[in-house]
Amino acid sequence: MFDKELQTLIDDMIETMRAAPGVGLAAPQVGVSQRLIVVEYGDEEDEDAPKKLFVVANPEILSASEEMVDGTEACLSIPRVMGDVERHEKVVVRGLNRFGKPVRYKLSGWMARIFQHEIDHLEGVLFTDRASRAWRVQEEEQVPDNV
């Protein structure tokens, strides 16, 4: 599975995510039926800190906090639509990195939200399916980074 073809797909997904611009992308969003996500996001506290890039094959949420938080999300699959979505504040995710090695991440805040959003794509769930409220953004309005 972790062959040259997969590496090319990963590189293409990263390029697509960055060009959008977005902070995450799941393989089904680019028409590929694989359990693969890419996420790139910086430190919420320090906007000047370098962004962290994650590539996770077969991601699985092992545990999630009981604490839920509301947040506004957008998505590359549904341009110019935003919604309020309740997500777990913290999650533990495991999977395989781009070379097939096991990885495990303890995530919180916005990073946890991004991972939950992208893993939802692998299950065929869009953020609008979970949104308590969704709305269309006008052309002149600024849309935040899409997940």
Q: Are 127 and 85 in contact (CB under 8 A)?
A: yes
Q: How many residues are listed for the chain in this entry?
A: 147
Our answer to whether residue 123 is catalytic in this structure is no
Which residue carries 């996500």 as its tokens?
37
42 contact partners, CB below 8 Å, separation of at least 6: 49, 50, 51, 52
Catalytic residue among 118, 139, 140, 141: 118
Residue at token pair 């949420």: 61
Residue with the two structure tokens 């939802």: 120
SS3 39: strand
Active site residues: 118
